Chains A and B, each alone.
Chain A
Amino acid sequence: MSMNNQGRPTGTGTSGFASTSGSALLPNEPLLFEIGDTEHSGVDLPDATITNARLGGFERKTALDLAGLTEPEAMRHYVRLSRLNHSIDSGMYPLGSCTMKHNPRLNEKMARLPGFADIHPLQPVSTVQGALKLMNELSHWLMTLTNTSAVALTPKAGAHGELLGMMAIKAAQDAAGQSHRRIVLVPESAHGTNPATAAFLGYSVKSIPARSDGTVDVQAVKDALSPDVAAIMLTNPNTCGLFEPQVIEIAKAVHDAGAFFYCDGANFNAIMGVVRPGDLGIDAMHINLHKTFSTPHGGGGPGAGPVVLSAALAPFAPVPFVRKGSNGLELVEHEQDQALGRITAFQGQMGMYVRALTYMLSHGGDGLAQAAQDAVLNANYIKARLGQVFSVPFPDYPTMHEALFDDSFLTGTGVTTLDFAKALIDEGFHPMTMYFPLVVHGAMLIEPTESESKQTLDRFCDVMEELALDAKAGNATRFTAAPMKAPRRRLDETRAARSPILKWERPTETLKAAE
């Protein structure tokens, strides 16, 4: 058995009480199933008497074996677990393409008003007029900021929005007798959801190579266009953090070929209030409310991905949507002639609509534009401050909301991009996005967002510089052994994937003892 420096066992299949890292205030936390049992409960409920059960003989005969905790135990378990997480509220989170901006708490407070949180998606429409007004207001803001004709609110996340946008394009082309269009153009630098979405709908994906300056060449698009192309899926600003300078020409070429322009709006936060995508010629674009409009990321969702649509695609929006009727607002819940149907039960992520609209009203049109400009300012500041030490793959254009570096500054140091990122953890920062976009070797994508002060940016840049100089000076161990101050050292992902353990099993000794 291996021993740690305090002489206690460090077994891995044991209860988890053993600890080598962390401090006295950050102990290891056992699993729920190791501290709870099936008798304890943190909820007081009367034991109902059922005289004439209607369960038809389908009653449960197997035990659930679900562990319970009393309220104080539960509070402690989840507070202690929470402290093992980094979060925006506790420090800078410069994860490129993820837009970790401040999450205002007014949004949370508003989403919890009973008039929003405690209403049912299928209660009579006459009893939820305020909710429909809210959806209408949110739609108005989204259409105004993008200069588009319609918006489908229901997608549950960005990738779901992409799916819906491409379904709308497919429906429009089917209706126009253009079903032979089977190819979707996707630039190499695209997020993985783009090709996955196109393939999901049965399209074949044709990759468009990136230019050496990190942008898409209109000529390359023209060369790839043919009567069989259904659409292009283009991210703008792109995943390298650059605004596509030829986007209007690209849109025109795509339209001239009878195809549609799907814009991945993951990076709309860089241009909100400053550039309207409708003016660039887009036909559909999803907007990640959890990136651009500050709804919380929640450890990986829930997101929300409304899709704005051009006039050409508006008739193909899914149900449900809100429309003005004779007795106030109506909710249209059933297929119109051409609509593509329904992509989720009910009305979508209402809780996120409330938060996003609260954020929009707080910022106003002027504040949203200022936020976009500050996000761009911050990214360019980082690029300017670090450009001397780090290598910039695409120096030709100012960057938008994120600064992209490659790993050539690490050549010969024995330090990888991953090592470098892990060392940042020991300095109190969440690492940047690594190895994405794929078009850059050893990419490091830094998105500070508008929420960071100059003071924080300076501290971050100082740390980055110091780390880079240290790596170049040959102190590889600081990187290869990192992180050393986090709740865990580097985790063995190979082991996790080779023999997956995906749930807790009662240890066999306990089972034997119980027999």
Chain B
Amino acid sequence: MTTKFTPDHEYIRVEGATGIVGITPYAQDALGDIVFVELPSVGKVLKKGDEAAVVESVKAASEIYAPVAGTVTEVNDALTGNPGLINSDPENEGWIYKIAIADAGEIDGLLDDAAYADLTK
């Protein structure tokens, strides 16, 4: 199991052929209290960099892009009633959607722990 990052502060945790996507603790802290999440529909086909979801704080709306190409297989419906999960536990309970990864090669092009830590220093 590996976790990779984008320069736009999405993470993707790879479990076999599936990736779990969310935003990093750094990003949730910068955005402040999340009040609404617009989830993608299951089955949606995404190219790398496509807008997949939107998270909103009181004063800002931020698009969540697809870190890699693939098809949305599952979304975190718990966020609809409790968007604050992204603040309290962004990497576990606050995940946003799962994607069936189309090209595993794209994962390698993403940032690893150290590179992302560098970016947010």
- Which residues of chain A have a CB within 8 Å of any CB of chain B? 435, 493-494, 497-498
Q: What distance in Å separates the Cβ of A18 from its nearest Cβ neighbour in chain B?
A: 26
Question: In the assembly, what is the distance between CA of A308 and CA of B84, in Å?
Answer: 48
Tally A-B pairs: CB < 8 A. 16
* Residues in B neighbouring A493, C-beta threshold 8 A: 58
Complex CA–CA separation, A498 to B59 (angstroms): 13
CA–CA, A435 to B57, complex, Å?
Answer: 16
In the A-B complex, the 9 residue pairs with the smallest Cβ-Cβ separation, listed nearest first, are A497-B35, A494-B33, A493-B58, A498-B35, A497-B58, A494-B58, A494-B35, A498-B83, A497-B36
Among B32, B33, B36, residue most surrounded by chain A Cβ atoms (within 10 Å) = B33
Report the bound CA distance from A356 to B43 in whole Å. 56
B residues apposed to A, CB below 8 Å: 32-33, 35-36, 56-59, 83-84
11 contacts between A and B (CB under 8 A): A493-B58, A494-B32, A494-B35, A494-B58, A497-B36, A497-B56, A497-B58, A498-B33, A498-B36, A498-B83, A498-B84
Closest to B56 in A: A497
Shortest distance in angstroms between A254's beta carbon and chain B's nearest beta carbon? 30
Q: How far is the CB of B73 from chain A (nearest CB, A)?
A: 27
Rounded to whole angstroms, the CA-CA distance of A493 and B57 in the bound complex is 10
B36 CB contacts on chain A under 8 angstroms: 497-498
Q: Nearest-CB distance from A205 to chain B (Å)? A: 15
Q: How far is the CA of A493 from the CA of B33 in the complex (A)?
A: 10
Could you say which residues of chain A place their CB within 8 Å of the CB of B57? 494
- Give A498 to B84 CA distance when docked, in angstroms: 9
For B82, the closest partner residue in chain A by CB is A498
A295 to B91, CA, bound (A): 52
What CA separation (Å) do A497 and B32 show in the bound complex? 13
Q: Give the Cβ gap from A480 to chain B, nearest Cβ, in Å.
A: 16
Which residue from chain A places its CB closest to the CB of B58 in the assembled complex?
A493
Q: How many angstroms from the CA of A498 to the CA of B80 in the assembled complex? A: 10
Q: How far, in angstroms, from A435 to B33 measured CA to CA in the complex? A: 18
Min CB gap B105→A, angstroms: 31
A494 to chain B, nearest CB (A): 4
Bound-complex Cα distance A497 to B56 (A)? 10
Bound Cα distance A497, B59 (Å):
10
CA gap between A198 and B57 in the complex, in Å: 25
Complex contacts, B84 vs chain A, CB 8 Å? 498
CB neighbours (8 Å) of A494 from chain B are 32-33, 35, 57-58
Q: A497-B35, A498-B33 are in contact. List 10 more A-B contacts (CB 8 A).
A: A435-B59, A493-B58, A494-B57, A494-B58, A497-B36, A497-B56, A497-B58, A498-B36, A498-B83, A498-B84
Complex-state Cα separation, A435 to B32, whole angstroms = 16
| A493→B32 CA distance, assembly (Å) | 12
Query: In whole angstroms, what is the CA distance A494 to B84 when docked?
Result: 10
Contacts of B33 in A (CB 8 A): 494, 498
Which B residues lie within 8 Å of A497 (CB)? Answer: 35-36, 56, 58
In this complex, what residue of A is CB-closest to B87? A494
For the complex formed, measure the closest distance between the CB of B34 and the CB atoms of chain A, giving whole angstroms.
9
With a cutoff of 8 Å between Cβ atoms, the chain B residues found around residue A498 in the complex are 33, 35-36, 83-84
Closest chain A residue to B33, Cβ basis: A494
Tell me the complex Cα distance, A427–B57, Å. 30
- CA of A102 to CA of B83 in the docked complex: distance in angstroms? 44
> A435 CA to B83 CA in the complex, in Å?
25
- In the complex, the chain A residue whose C-beta lies closest to that of B35 is A497
Complex Cα–Cα for A494 and B83 (A): 11
Nearest-neighbour CB distance to chain A for B11, whole angstroms, equals 24
- In the assembled complex, the Cα of A494 lies from the Cα of B32 at a distance in Å of 9
Which of B32, B35, B56 has the most chain A CB within a 10 Å cutoff?
B35
Query: B36's closest neighbor in chain A, by CB?
Result: A497
Q: In this complex, what residue of B is CB-closest to A494?
A: B33
Which residues from A are CB-within-8-Å of B56? 497
Nearest Cβ in chain A — how far from B83, in angstroms?
6
* B32 partner residues in chain A, CB cutoff 8 A: 494
A497 to B83, CA, bound (A): 11
* A498 to B79 alpha-carbon distance, docked (Å): 11
Q: Provide the residues of chain A in CB contact with B59, threshold 8 Å.
A: 435
Question: Inside 8 A of B83's CB, which chain A residues have their CB?
Answer: 498
A106–B51 CA distance with the chains assembled, in angstroms: 53
- B residues near A435, Cβ cutoff 8 Å: 59
* A contact residues around B58 at 8 Å (CB): 493-494, 497
Q: How far is the CB of B28 from chain A (nearest CB, A)?
A: 13
In the assembled complex, the Cα of A445 lies from the Cα of B56 at a distance in Å of 25
Shortest Cβ distance from residue A469 to the other chain B in the assembled complex, whole angstroms: 29
The smallest beta-carbon distance between B31 and chain A, in angstroms, is 12
Q: Chain A's nearest CB lies how many Å from the CB of B32? A: 8
Please give the distance in Å from B39's CB to the nearest CB on chain A.
Answer: 16
Nearest chain B CB to A331's CB is how many angstroms away? 43
Give the CA-CA distance A1 to B28 in the complex, in Å. 32
Min distance, Cβ B58 to any Cβ of chain A, angstroms: 5
CA–CA, A461 and B67, complex, Å: 50
The minimal Cβ–Cβ distance linking B10 to chain A, given in whole angstroms, is: 22
Q: How far is the CB of A162 from chain B (nearest CB, A)?
A: 21
Bound: A494/B59 CA distance, A: 10
Which of B56, B58, B83, B84 counts the most chain A CB atoms within 10 A? B58
Shortest CB-to-CB span from B107 to chain A, Å, is 31
CA distance A435 to B84 in the complex (A): 24
Residue of A nearest to B32 (CB): A494
CB distance from A210 to the nearest CB of B (A): 20
Which residue of A is nearest B83, CB measured? A498
Contacts of B35 in A (CB 8 A): 494, 497-498
Closest B-chain residue to A435, C-beta based?
A: B59
User: B53 → chain A, closest Cβ, in Å?
Assistant: 17
Bound together, the chains give a CA A130 to CA B92 distance in angstroms of 70
Q: How far is the CB of B37 from chain A (nearest CB, A)?
A: 11
Bound-state Cα–Cα, A498 to B87, Å: 13
